[in-house]
Structure formats: C-alpha cells, structure tokens
A and B are shown apart, each in its own frame.
Chain A
Amino acid sequence: MASKLTTSNRAGWAFALPGFGLLAMFIVVPFFFAFFLSLTNQRLISPNPTEFVGLDNYRNLLGIRVLSIEPEVNAAGEIVRDETGAPEYPRVRTFTRNNPDYPQYAGMREWFRWHSGDTAKVVVARDVVFWKSLRNTLMFVLVVAPVQGALALGLALLINQRLRAINIYRAIYFMPVVVSIVVVSLLWRFLYAEEGLLNSILHGLSFGMFEGRDWLGDPDTALGAIKAMSIWQAVGFHMVIWLSGLQTISPTLYEASAIEGASKWQTFRYVTWPGLRNTAVLVLIVITMQAFALFAQIDVMTNGGPLDSTTTVVFQAVERGYGKQDISGGAAISVILFLLVLTISLIQRYLTREK
C-alpha cells in the first residue's frame, strides 16, 4: 500500500518524536519504573543507598493467614465461658508477638474472625489497612460500575426522545461532569452532615421517624455515601456515551419493529440492546477504570476513615509513597492496582465478547 509519495522515514520520525518521546518519558518509563521500584527499598529522600529487596514489599502488603484458636480450657478440661456462655479465647497477640512456636504469624494483626463450632477462625494480615483498602475499592467498583452504567443508560433513553427543549435537560444532566470532583466532594460533605440537608429531607419524608445520622462519620454508611455521590457526579458522562451509541442505531430498525407491533420492552430487548453492544463494553471498562482510581473523594471527605472504612488502594499508595515518603511501598501498591485493573478489564472483555 505504501506509495512513494507518502514514504518518508525522516519526516515520519521527526513529526512523531516529540509526542512519542514525552509519552515514553512520562508514562511508559514510570510504568516500568514502578515494577522496578517495588522490588527495592527506595525512599523519596534517604541518606542510605537503595537496596534490592526482592518481593518483600509485596509480602508485607499481601501476607495473610487464617489462625485457628481453640477456646481456653480449665484444669478439668472444660471450656471456659464468660457470663453470656460464649467461650473465651486466648488473645491473638499471644500468637503473633514474639512467639517462637508460630513464626509464620509474627507481626500480623487481626482483620476479622468467624466461628466454626467452638474454634475461632481469625484472619490475620501483615497489613490490615491495605487489605481493607482492597476490599473497599472492590466494593466500590462492584456497586458503582453496574449502577452507574444502568442509570446512565436510563437517562440516555429518557433524553433520546423527540421533545422540545430536550437539549436543555441533556445539558443539565451533564453539568456535574464539568465540575471538579474536589468541589463536588466538599459540597456533598455539607449535604451529608448531621445537620445537613439529606437528614432533614429523610426526616420530613418519614414524618419524623428517621433520626438523623452522620453519614460520613459512621463506618456503616461512609463508603455508601461516597458511592452515591460519585455516581451522581459522573453519570452524565456515561449518559452521553450511551446516547452516541443509541444514535448509531438505524431508525429503520425501529420502524420495522413498530410495524411488527413490538412492545416497548421488546423493542429495547431486540433492537436497542443488541445495537449497544460495543458501547456497553466501553462504558463498563471506562467506569471500572475510573472507579479503581478513587482518590479525591476520599481525600476531601473522609481521609480514609472512620476506622479505615473508606480507605482505598490509591489513597494508600499516595499516603505511603508521598505522605510517608515510602516510594517502594507506594510503587508496589501501584503495581497491584494496575494488575487488578488489567485483570478486571480482561474479564469484562471476555464476558462481553462477540459470540
């Protein structure tokens, strides 16, 4: 295909080099640098030379075990029980602190536990906060990706009607997208406050039954509150992507289904949805990538609290890599995050592949 007219190695490289060079320097190099740094003990500023430490950073982050603890037994061989009849257990730290019989648990802390008969199964991890950040991030992605995708599709279908002034509504629904997430987070902090608007609305709607709560101050509701706000902010973005997908579907298909007497649901199921296949893959992958990157909302609204209930992987990477100047630890978290994003995108691509 190459015609003589357009072949030019010199001009080709000269035009592409500034862009490619910058991209290589500031995206590709740091990307591989992250893998390298995660295998060292590099700090942002340190008098000591950097050393290669193998997989230590990953071991420190990901080390996790289940510890089975038998209840305390008295001299007669009976299980010791407290007033409520629950068995009493030796403290976890008798296993994890300076106990030469259990070197594999050394330095670990309890994350959570469950009971199997009278035995307590205790999950202990080297870095409980990091495990919580992984759990929180996954919970965030698992809720936000489908809910935001579906709501965005709903809005797109609503906006895709032939109505006067419909463009004004489209512009309004999209408005939060152009506002910085930092600004949005601050505004919603106000909304979620104990004396805030949300509580008074719920109080009014429930005829006074609902007692106000501090949405961001309660470990049970803080992450949920951040999910809701994040969906509110970005749903307009994905609405527009769905809309552009809807507009690629040929009107003749709709005419045909109207002639066949298809119901609204049938039209959606057999005409609209199949036409949106590629859009669906794109929307899902973009939302997932954005959701994994959750940081600003946390930094502005909760700082990871209360009780680490809203800490996320990126928040941890920044807190360590920048806050504690532990570049290698932050880099290891970054690598784990990248592998997670990649895995989820590949799974999504596989599940939504053309059959």
Chain B
Amino acid sequence: MATESIKYLTPETETKLKSKAFPRPHQNTSGIVNWLTTIDHKKIGVMYGLAALFFLILGGVEALLIRSQLWNHNMEVLSNREYNQMFTMHGTTMVFLVIMPLSAAFFNFIMPLQIGARDVAFPRMNTLSLWCFIAGGITLNLSWFFTGGSPAIGWFGYAPLTDTRFAEVIGDMGPDFWIFSLQILGLASLLASFNFITTIINMRAPGMTMMRLPVFTWMTLIVSFLIILAFPAITIALVELMFDRTYGTNFYDFLEGGKPHLWQHLFWIFGHPEVYILILPAMGIVSEIIPVFSRKPLFGYGLIVFSGAIIGFMGFAVWSHHMFTTGMGIVATSAFSILTMLIAIPTGIKIFNWIGTMWGGRIRFETPMLFALGFITMFMVGGFTGIMHSSVPIDAQHQDSYFVVAHFHYVLIGGALFGLFAGFYFWLPKLTGKMLNEKLGKFVFTLMFIGFNVTFFPMHYLGMIGQPRRTHSYNEGHGFETWNQIATIGAFILGVGILIGVYQFVTAFFNKKLKDAGKNPWDARTLEWTLSSPVKEYNFARTPIIKSRDQAWENNYGPKENHSDKVPLDDHGVHMPDRSWYPLVSGLGFLGLVLGLLFHQSVDANTGEILRDYTYAIAGGSIAIFGIIMWSLEGPAGYHLFPKETEE
C-alpha cells in the first residue's frame, strides 16, 4: 500500500505496559510479520478469503471422491467407512470452513468501507477471530492422522452415531476432533459477530442512518445477530456431547436414560438459522450488484431489509422441519410446516424486488451480474424444492433421498457460492486495484453454471426413483447408473470451473498484465467506491458526510445538495491502532488448549483404566490467558497518519 507520502507520528497515548517478550512491531514492518500481527480489517479479510478458498478446493476434492464412488453400481473407489468420512468432512468443511469464512471475508473487507468507518470496533479481536478460524480448520483436518481417521458421523453428528460404544474403530477420535474444531470455529464466529454488531451500530459515518445502510451491511448485521443467538445452542449441545464421550454423562445415551432426539432439536435450533447465516450474505452481495449493473437504484430497499430481518427472525422458528419423520406429533409437525411455508414469503419478496430492480434498467451482462443472475435463478429452484419439503407428506417421501441433496446444493452452491463468486468478481478490483479478465470470468461462469446444473439437476430424479443419500453404493438393476454418471461428469466440470475461478482470484493479487481499476470501475453506488483502489490503510482520509443512500452515485450524478461535503483534513491526522502479537499468541493458546483436551485421555495398558493428563491443556489455556492479559495491558495505543490533501 502506498504509504510513502505519509509521515508517521509517535503515539499520543502511553501503553499501560511495554512488553519485552512480544514488542509491538513497527508500522512499516513487512513480510510475514506484517501479516501475522496485522489488525487491519482489509488484510484480515484477505486472509479469511484465501484460507477459505484453500478449504474450498479441499472440500471440492472430497466431493469429487464421493462422485467417483457413485459413478457405477458397487464401486470400490472408497471403502464404506471412507465414504462416510468423505461426506462428513465435505459437509463440515463446506459449511464451516468455506461459506461462513468467505462471508466473513466480505464482512471484514467491505462492511467498514460501506459505513465509512476506519476499521471494525475491536481490531485486535478481529484478528483473534481469524486465528481461531484457522485453528479450527487445522483441528478438523488433523483428524485424518489419528485413531479412527476423520469423523464418519455426518456433518450433523446425530446421536447415537457419536456414542463411543458404537464406534467402528475402538478409541475412534474422529468425533472428538469434530467436536473441538466446531467449538473453536464457533468461538471465531461469535467474536467476529460481536465485533460486526458493535461496528455497524456504533461506527457509522455522520448521516449514515440505519435506513441508509447498504443492503450488504444490513445483511451483515442480521447474520451477526443470527450467529450470536444460534451458535450457543450448538456450543452447549457439543459440550453435552463432549461430556457424554469423555466423562460418561447420559445426555444422548438412550441406554441410560438420555434421548438422542434432544441432539436433533439442539442441532437444528442452531442448524436452521445456520442455513440463513449461509445464504443472507450472498443475498446482500446480490442486492449490491444488481442495481449497479441495471443502472437503477435498488427497488424496494425497505422491503428487502425488512424481509431479511423477518427471515432471520423466523429462521429460529422452523428448525423442526428437518425432523418431520422423527414423530414429533401432529401439532408440532403442523406448526413447523405452516411456519416453513410462511418463511417463503419474505424470500419471495426479495426475489421480486431484484426483478423489479432490473425491470426497465440498462442491464450490463458482466461477470458479477452473470453470477448474480445465476444466484437468483438457481436459488429459486432450490427455494421451490424447499417449499415442497414444507409439506409433511412430501417431506416424508423425500427424506434421506438424493432429492434433498439436490435441494440444498441448489441453495448452497447455486445460491450461496454463486453469490460469493459474484462478490469476488465485483469487489476484487477494489482489493487489488486491478480489473479481472472479463473473458476468463465469463468462461468460469459458463463452466460453473453448466457443471452445477448437470451435477445436481439429475439428483432430483435420482431421489424420486429412490436413491438414498449417505449410502456408500447401490446395486445393479435400480436404473441409477446413467444419471449418476451424468452427475459425476457435471461435478468434474463444476470442479474445473471453480478451480479456474480460484486461480483467477489468487493471481489477481500479482498479475501485472491486468488493467488498472481506478476508483469506480463499475460506476457503482456505495461508499467504498469513492475510495482509491486498492484502499489506503487508513480507509477514509476525511470523515465522509452521508446525505443519501447511494452516496457514490449521488456524488457523480445527483443534485448538488446530495453531494457529500468535503470536510477539511483533521489536524490530528488519522488515528491508527498499533499492531499486536497477542491475538496470534491467544489463538495459538486456544489451539493448544483444544489439542491438549483432545489427547488428555490414555488407557493404562495393564489395568485398562482411563488415565487423564491435563498438563498440555493447562499449558495451552495458560498461553491463551497470558495472551489475553497482556493484550488488555498493552491497550490499543496507536499512531497518527497524515494523508495528503488530495486523498478522499
């Protein structure tokens, strides 16, 4: 980033304690230390994105192994257990290590720019979220190397599959790795969400009222609330499961008075809001892109925002539609069925408003717009099958069949992933300052769109004729082969498309041949497009004064009274917080704590007794506590930057 023109000033505030063990790196530091100690929301967003793209490839390989296994009847590409591990790891990876962190990458990078903030409210806590997410990804994938391999319990981990007595492999550690990685990923999501909520509520630029917030920022706020209210349910469910597995409690142990049914309720009380946690960010991205490429303001802004909020609220009241076949009784089943039908209404409102935005607009079919349109159409297909499942008798027929697999992949790939890819093509020029290659982008879209439909559309039919999901192989004579082979071919096309897309995103950071983007290459509407690309480390040289919803557009085309005032630069300069090692130290401490807890048990070879050794867990926990104490003592501190008069 271009900081040569800027003079640095030493901090005004004294830190409470100057540490000799981990002295604060200088602001001009470069290389690996720059990335390890950064508290800049933009760099954190980039790291979230890159890590998530890595996991996208990993989860994709797992998916392709599953598809290869299903190529023909009675294949043996994977053993029975390996197949179970693959779909477990594929699901867990894609939900927690790909879609959520990709959304978090956009929240981090875009949201503070859209509200005119210098950074998020708690920059160091933001860094800790990142390291906790990475620690969770490491923990989950370490499971491959220990007793029993990775978990084979499904991403839902239904009891009693997780009961130690029913483990296929004696001393199977897979579910333990799964439990602890989800816990630390939950911590990452919770910390990030507290941060985003505080930022959006408290750090808006003057004039940026709640009803002037860009829709993407609104969706960030709603998703953050969903996370802080939904994750506690899974956290406690996992704590209870951990106690069951490690200390012999009976929460889900049906032989000793527990009810496996309770796990399903707790899991889906989290799991259904989680669906909206995955899709609402993509809806926010699409709501930003469609007005820009239709050259019209967003149609029905208020309705879109309120629909998002209602979806978030009702998302907590429909969880049991995942459990229609468990026998909850007529009253509960009917209530959840009706509520599930109702939640289609706000979703429909959004789709009609996007169509209304495009209606009569001057539409440009550039790559972000193509992905956004792909989102709308594919998400609608997934949405329609979703409405089908709200009907209890139909759900009973579709339960555990490939129809359901088709349904949620239409929502999560055709929906969430297409939306996120649209976001990449839309906002990467803002990150890198370079335009992406339009032809390659359209090629990626074509491959993904075709590959995706060829993979998942046949699964509707396969499900209807009875192919069960989560099943290792099928016998000859059911007529499953043809459509499975088509789906497998489609999956490889989709895989190639995604791979090229990821290649394009990653190389965008150092490809010298790409054209310069300039401030506002798409002629877009929101505040981040008033800044130079790439964005300076201090974001806004002067506080933006917001006078309308689409401030960047108004500045260019609006009447004079809607232009943002150019306030003079602050004499004090822009206050920047200092870098810190402690988020990384605390993150490593949490990783140590988790690994220590994972390996604290051993069995005495002579007596068969379980021995417990908490040394490593305590050591890890102590490092985390040390990091947090030093963190609070060092304080935010900071220094001042003096941007040039010409900067925005």
Do they bind each other? no
Query: Interface on A for B, CB 8 Å cutoff?
Result: none
